Structure 1
Amino acid sequence: MNKTILIVEDNYVEASNLQRILAKAGYIVLEIAMSVKEAICIAEKNRPDLVLIDIFLKGPQTGIELAYWLCERNIAFVYLSANSNQEILSQAKKTEPYGFLVKPFREKDVLVTLDIAAYLHEQKQKLAVRKQIVSQELFSPSELLPGIVGKSIKLQHTLDMIRIVAPTDTSVLIVGESGTGKERVVDCIHSLSSRKSKPLVKINCAALPASLIDSELFGHEKGAFTGAYERRIGKFEQASGGTIFLDEIGEMTPDLQIKLLRVLQEKEIDRIGGKTSIKINARVVAATNKNLETEVEKGRFRMDLFYRLNVFPITVPALRERKDDIPLLVRFYLNHFNKELGRNVKSFSEKAMADLMQYNWPGNVRELEHFIQRSVLLAQEETVKSVELPKNQSLDTAHKTADDRIRTMEENDIDHITKALKVAKGKLAGPGGAAELLNLPYSTLVSKIRKLGIKKV
């Protein structure tokens, strides 16, 4: 069945151009709406498979407000935009769109974006079902996720995401700073999947020269180039039936990005020097410590590849964001290194532990692990009474106040709206209402309250 699309665009020329491209490709365009109000009326009568929304529309409501309405009804959407400023784009991203189309539209870009949007929506539907199943199950983190230590709220959220996605074949993008334990997350995803009896193949995209990574990933035939004395089976073939982990994917060259996109789309590879394509069955898990959205904006990472990989992102929190886990990690690594090194260091003193808790840990869990190993080696007694940490990296939280840090835009918005609600005594619309005090359309205020989780006064 052909997919139905609603176009929400108040520029008739742009809308007609889109309609022509979509009709040619076999899509059914329900209608062209010129405003949010008109779009809602059409969508309520004929639920579209996907909506294309111009961010800026004539009238009091913007495309972003329509996006929130669509989110509530689980209708997929893609934004249409010209050169919007960063603030507008940041607001748009909060609605979690399935893509952006930048004006003027190119036919190829439109069709690729719609293909990705349909894929993302389908995957998220499956994952939503999986999430409901997981929420009804009881888990023991220590049994199911070995090697990941901690009970903090942020870490538990990460563990929940692992449990949801692991049994599926969905591509996963793991995001986090260096040393946070992204590779441990990969191990857990693989061990909890139906592919656990098959290989888990790991490759660091930043560690191999650009001249070798093509052959490393896809393999080559004998005689394909100077020095190719025999056939080489690439990592994707080695991972057949299992999982391939592409670490530091943000370092991948543009040429390889194109090839990886084809692997994700077509499920096949070409060996260097090969004459036929080879079907592969490997789940792709990627990781990066870069902000790939920024890399996309700067033209260093392909947008279509980003959306293919970003179906289910998992963020691994920095250690400074989960300091409650430090005592548990210290105990875990003490036990580990005592066994490995034949030592008997039982604990850290209260003062030493307080110093560990205050330190910023820029190298995250990996830095803590190495520090405990060194402490076990150097300890002269069963208790480590003092520690030496780089003073220029310490986070002197004990002497900081809440006013010393820069507040986020969301925090400022919450305070501003809450204050207006108190002044208006909970009244939202009409004379003296919060919307009037804030000089915002009523619908925009309601969207912000819902998005920021503000409790009405």
Structure 2
Amino acid sequence: MNNSKEKLLIVEDEFIVGNDLRMMLIKGGHEVVGMAASVEQARKLIEAKKPDWVLLDIVLKTPTSGIELGKELHAQKIPFLYISANTNEQTLEAAKATQPYGFLVKPFRQQDLFVMLDIARYRYGIEKGTIKEVAAPATTHTPVPAYDSNDLIGNSAVIHEALNKVNAVAPTTTSVLLLGESGTGKERFAEAIHKRSNRKNKPFIVVNCGAIPITLLESELFGHERGAFTGANQKRIGKFEQAEGGTLFLDEIGELPPEAQVKLLRVLQQKEIERVGGDRTIPVDVRVIAATNRHLEKEVAHGRFRLDLYYRLNVFPIVLPPLRERPDDIPSLVQYFLHKFRDNSPKGIPAVGPQAMQSLTQYNWPGNIRELEHVIERQVILSGGNPIEHIELTMADQSALPTDTNLETLETVERNHILKTLKACKGRVSGMGGAAEILGIPAQTLYSKMKKLGIKTGYL
């Protein structure tokens, strides 16, 4: 898209902010057709100038808010971005309902503005069909072999939808945000995107943001120079440099502390890093795929996650369905894990009887695929190679089976399940037979969840 042909309108009631924004846009080769300090002025300019894009402040010191104008712009099919200094949950939800193409968080720099505009154009182009980097595959799929360790497993409609998006986005350079519960296979999907991309022969580096102490996170991501801090006896190359030319998978991105979020945003925008204790910038060519099991929009509303970073990562979201929503895939997954753990069986791969399979397909799998993997590994060992006729669920497994129809919040369900699992493990969190292993999540992640939910093992 030729930016010089785009006409932009600024709606901002603070003249200094609006004028700075206008100068940035003009310097970048854009045509600014006007500045409005109120919704009423904006309506007149929209009618007279027919702008291609509107940059709209959410909070205006006028009777009519920016969100009300956002509703009108959406109805008129005029693409727009919001400008915001801070947004509470209620305002964010109202703003989202107007379907903007991005958010620009004050204060911002010229580079931040242009990156957000590029993302907004990409979203708009995809929606309108004017941007097609790669044709999406057909909605029907050839069944994926159940024990192909290099690919994804599933033939259900929900997994096909996710696979369609994987195949569509993989050949591009677009950032991807994988959303889903713990254990749904986010790392597997990230690796599949990498292997289907032009970067497949370059490194695929994984970083679990929830498993690294905050004090070491910056050094882990960006590296450090010798003598940068106590204990830094030699230079360290960070994950961004290790992933040069390839893909960096940032798992549990919602666990990043605020100071790390700021630095990550700068790296994504400028495509360069600076090692801790260093005095020079290092260009990096890395595709970032992020993942989280958190509701990032709520994290943004509560001030725990930056709005601009969220929109920078959320260019192409893919929602991974929980295992309970794809029971038809369980037999294929079971066969895959039986083959994976065949070395644990002295008589070869055991068969799974119909009653055992029924138990597996009827269970709601709070730990998702990772939990299924652990259950099958345990059953293969216990079977001694003989047919598996009955699945022996642990106390923690059984606690997840539905017993009534009372509805609770997700946080309450998660807290109760963690408590029951900890009790079954006699308070043991990590290690063999610990709650983290049963739940199918890293011990550090479980500790973080326990802290967030106010769970202390001494109270069990």
Q: Distance in 1 between matches of 2:285 and 2:249?
A: 14
1:142 aligned to 141, 144, 147, which one? 144
Deviations 1:424-445 (A, max 9, x none): xxxxxxxxxxxxxxxxxxxxxx
Q: How has the CA–CA distance of structure 1 residues 100 and 202 changed in structure 2, closer, same or farther, with 3 Å as cutoff?
A: closer
Aligned length: 389
Partner of 2:47: 42
One-letter identity of the residue aligned with 2:72: L
One-letter identity of the residue aligned with 2:374: H
What is the Cα deviation at residue 375 of structure 1? 0.9
What is the Cα deviation at residue 213 of structure 1? 2.0
For residues 299-318 of structure 1, the aligned pairs below 5 Å read 299-318=303-322
Partner of 1:332: 336
Q: How has the CA–CA distance of structure 1 residues 395 and 150 changed in structure 2, closer, same or farther, with 3 Å as cutoff?
A: farther
Q: Distance in 2 between matches of 1:64 and 1:405?
A: 35
For residues 226-375 of structure 1, the aligned pairs below 5 Å read 226-338=230-342, 341-375=345-379
Partner of 1:196: 200
What is the Cα deviation at residue 125 of structure 1? 5.5
Q: Distance in 2 between matches of 1:304 and 1:366?
A: 32
2:171 match: secondary structure: coil
Deviations 1:125-173 (A, max 9, x none): 6755347612469864638994421112221111111111111111111
One-letter identity of the residue aligned with 1:142: V
2:136 match: secondary structure: helix
What is the Cα deviation at residue 268 of structure 1? 0.7
Q: How has the CA–CA distance of structure 1 residues 94 and 188 changed in structure 2, closer, same or farther, with 3 Å as cutoff?
A: farther
What is the Cα deviation at residue 280 of structure 1? 0.9
**Is residue 2:79 matched to residue 1:76?**
yes
Q: Distance in 1 between matches of 2:270 and 2:152?
A: 34
For residues 302-451 of structure 1, the aligned pairs below 5 Å read 302-338=306-342, 341-379=345-383, 382-389=386-393, 390-395=397-402
| Contact 2:365 2:372 (C-alpha < 8 Å) held by counterparts | yes
**Is residue 2:68 matched to residue 1:66?**
no
| Contact 1:346 1:382 (C-alpha < 8 Å) held by counterparts | yes
RMSD: 3.6
What is the Cα deviation at residue 64 of structure 1? 4.8
Q: Distance in 1 between matches of 2:134 and 2:195?
A: 21
1:290 match: secondary structure: coil
| Contact 1:6 1:31 (C-alpha < 8 Å) held by counterparts | yes
One-letter identity of the residue aligned with 1:6: L
* TM-score, reference length from structure 1: 0.73
For residues 89-104 of structure 1, the aligned pairs below 5 Å read 89-100=92-103
1:216 aligned to 202, 215, 220, which one? 220
Partner of 2:167: 163
Q: Distance in 1 between matches of 2:140 and 2:149?
A: 13
Partner of 1:6: 9
Q: How has the CA–CA distance of structure 1 residues 324 and 53 changed in structure 2, closer, same or farther, with 3 Å as cutoff?
A: farther
What is the Cα deviation at residue 347 of structure 1? 3.4
One-letter identity of the residue aligned with 1:201: I
1:308 match: secondary structure: helix
| Contact 1:174 1:288 (C-alpha < 8 Å) held by counterparts | yes
2:276 match: secondary structure: coil
Q: How has the CA–CA distance of structure 1 residues 36 and 335 changed in structure 2, closer, same or farther, with 3 Å as cutoff?
A: farther
Partner of 1:418: none
2:117 match: secondary structure: helix
What is the Cα deviation at residue 355 of structure 1? 1.9
220-229 vs 299-308, greater mean Cα deviation: 220-229
Q: Distance in 1 between matches of 2:53 and 2:42?
A: 19
Q: Distance in 2 between matches of 1:318 and 1:273?
A: 42
One-letter identity of the residue aligned with 1:42: E
